[in-house]
């Protein structure tokens, strides 16, 4: 998979991609992430990328030309399966969307800034608009890093233990059951006995029951939505 990310401040994402699982995924050649600085396509001597909005109003708007020129240059080398715009008024990101995106070959992500981008980019270029939550960030960069992380860890071979992405919270519409490690008792706090007994069918049944109980308590809405794995 290849992910191209367009931003006016690409350095905000650098450290997210330079460590741990995401770094290893790139080193293994499972994903290629390219950050593109929109400023390099800015207009004129000042590399302008934003302008006042027509009709008046506070806040600058990201201009069509720099974005269009950069995207068209990138499209000379590859076709994108999705051109995503990160925006607080996009579709709420969830595990189902992460699953869908993990099956794509080439993804482009555009990070918004200021008041956002000229609507014509959204109307004519963007294929999907994503929000990571009902709050406003200073820009789309952290949101793009969140989406990329959630997608990349699903790619085959990225996680050492292949089964662990499947046992994540949300992956089967359920939150994950509690986990414990040694010691079996500390300060009088005991690990549930069933987990130390070695009866694996019973342990599996216990985990499923716990996952259901926790989901019912914390996120009953997930049990209403039975389509998280649909593509
Ligand atoms: N840009 C600013 N806020 C955002 C959010 N909540 N999700 C995605 N992109 C954003």
Cis, bond preceding 183 (omega within 30 deg of 0)? yes
Mutate to test the pocket of ligand 1, among 59, 117, 136 (most ligand atoms within 8 A of CB): 136
Answer yes or no: is the C-beta of 86 below 6 A from any ligand 1 atom: yes
- In this prediction, residue 225 carries a pLDDT of 61
Given pLDDT bands bounded at 50, 70 and 90, which one contains residue 231? Answer: very low
Given pLDDT bands bounded at 50, 70 and 90, which one contains residue 229? Answer: very low
Give residue 86 CA to ligand 1 midpoint distance, Å: 6
DSSP assignment of 171-185 equals TTSSPPPP---S-SE
Question: Which tokens is 116 given?
Answer: 């956002």
- ipTM value: 0.98
The answer on whether 139 is annotated among ligand-binding residues is no
In percent, the amount of the chain with pLDDT more than 90 equals 88
Beta bridge partners of 35: 5
Give residue 148 CA to ligand 1 midpoint distance, Å: 14
- In this prediction, residue 228 carries a pLDDT of 47
Q: For residue 155, count CB atoms less than 10 angstroms from its CB and return exposed for 0-12, middle for 13-18, buried for 19 or more.
A: middle
How many other C-beta atoms lie within 10 A of the C-beta of residue 202? 12
Counting from 1 in the atom list of ligand 1, the atom nearest the Cα of 140 is 1
Decide: helix, strand or coil at residue 188: coil
Options 1.10.150.120, 1.20.1090.10, 1.10.10.10, 1.10.1270.20; CATH of 167-224: 1.10.1270.20
Given pLDDT bands bounded at 50, 70 and 90, which one contains residue 87? Answer: very high
Q: 124-181: per-residue pLDDT in tens?
A: 999 999 999 999 999 999 999 999 999 999 999 999 875 677 778 887 889 999 999 9
Count how many Cα atoms sit within 13 Å of the Cα of residue 107 in the half-sphere of its side chain. Answer: 24
Counting from 1 in the atom list of ligand 1, the atom nearest the Cα of 112 is 1
Give residue 21 CA to ligand 1 midpoint distance, Å: 24
**Which residue has its alpha carbon closest to ligand 1 atom 6?**
88
Superfamily name and number for 2-152? SPOUT methyltransferase, trefoil knot domain (3.40.1280.10)
Counting from 1 in the atom list of ligand 1, the atom nearest the Cα of 133 is 6
Answer yes or no: is the C-beta of 111 below 6 A from any ligand 1 atom: no
Give residue 117 CA to ligand 1 midpoint distance, Å: 13
Which residue ranges does the chain devote to CATH 3.40.1280.10? 2-152
Give residue 189 CA to ligand 1 midpoint distance, Å: 41
Rounded Cα distance, 82 and 80, in Å? 5
Question: What would the mean pLDDT of 21-38 be, rounded to a whole number?
Answer: 97
Q: 92-131: per-residue pLDDT in tens?
A: 999 999 999 999 999 999 999 878 999 999 999 999 999 9
Length of the chain: 231
**Which residue has its alpha carbon closest to ligand 1 atom 4?**
88
Counting from 1 in the atom list of ligand 1, the atom nearest the Cα of 134 is 6
Which residue ranges does the chain devote to CATH 1.10.1270.20? 167-224
């Amino acid at each position: 998979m290849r992910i191209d990310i367009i931003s006016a401040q690409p350095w905000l994402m650098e450290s997210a991609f330079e460590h741990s699982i995401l770094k290893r995924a790139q080193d293994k050649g499972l994903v290629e992430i390219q950050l593109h600085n929109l400023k390099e396509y800015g207009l004129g001597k000042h590399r302008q990328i934003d302008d006042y909005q027509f009709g008046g109003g506070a806040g600058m708007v990201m201009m069509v030309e720099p974005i269009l020129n950069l995207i068209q240059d990138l499209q000379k080398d590859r076709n994108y399966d999705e051109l995503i715009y990160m925006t607080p008024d996009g579709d709420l990101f969830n595990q189902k969307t992460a699953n869908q995106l993990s099956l794509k070959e080439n993804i482009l992500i555009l990070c918004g800034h200021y008041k956002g981008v000229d609507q014509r980019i959204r109307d004519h270029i963007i294929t999907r608009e994503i929000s990571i939550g009902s709050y406003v960030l200073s820009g789309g960069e952290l949101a793009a890093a969140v989406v990329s992380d959630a997608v990349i860890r699903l790619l085959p071979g990225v996680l050492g233990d292949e089964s662990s992405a499947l046992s994540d919270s949300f992956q089967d519409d359920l939150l994950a059951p509690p986990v414990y490690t040694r010691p079996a008792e500390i300060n009088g706090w005991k690990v549930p006995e069933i987990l130390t007994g070695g009866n694996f069918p019973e342990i599996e049944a216990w985990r499923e029951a716990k996952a259901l109980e926790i989901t019912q308590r914390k996120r009953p809405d997930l049990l209403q939505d039975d389509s998280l794995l649909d593509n």
